[in-house]
Structure 1
Amino acid sequence: MTQVIHSGRVISITEFRKNPVECVNSGKGALAIMSRNYPAFYCVSAEEFGKLLELAEIGKKSQAN
């Protein structure tokens, strides 16, 4: 089955386990972690996660109006 990868950055779970903090901080945007050629999960830095939470809050407020 074909999987859509929602990230321009991709790394194997094996590489991720070696140094996860460095992997996440090595670039901007989400990092797709692949397991057996399928995306297992995505990681973002703490700063980017904060921005996503702000955007979600803005979205909630705009829906309430």
Structure 2
Amino acid sequence: MTMEIIRPILADNATSITELKKNPMAVIEQADGFPVAVLNRNQPVFYCIPADAYELLMDKLEDVELAKLVVERRDQEEIEVNINDL
């Protein structure tokens, strides 16, 4: 017996795979620029997000990764470099 994982729907807009197949652009337009959770048997299986939102998300993730690197390297010994040697 397998247990089904219940996942929260992390979007205000949702549609079924069937509706998405019928008219994908209508689903996206109705979401008015916001993410759409695509459901299979009332469970989210993926999210459609506008390109602008995806790019912003990727920028934020990069910022988080860079901030983590800064924290990790904050106490490292400094190395003096002459710009003319580069």
TM-score grouping bracket, smaller chain normalisation:
0.7 to 0.9
The answer on 1:28 being equivalent to 2:33 is yes
Which residue does 2:23 correspond to in 1? 19
Identity of aligned residues (%): 28
Based on CA coordinates, which of the two structures has the bigger radius of gyration? Answer: 2
Which structure carries more relative contact order (alpha carbon 8 Å, separation 6+)? 1
- More strand per residue: 1 or 2? 1
Q: State the number of aligned residues.
A: 65
Question: Can you give the 5+ residue segments of structure 1 that lack an aligned partner in the other structure?
Answer: none
- Distance in structure 2 (CA, Å) of the matches to 1:33 and 1:10: 6
Stretches of structure 2 lacking an aligned partner (at least 5 in a row)? 71-86
- The question of 1:46 aligning with 2:46 is answered no
For the aligned residue pairs, the C-alpha RMSD in angstroms reads: 1.4
Runs in 1 of length 4+ with deviation above 3 angstroms?
Answer: none
Indicate conservation of the 8 Å contact 1:5/1:39, yes or no: yes
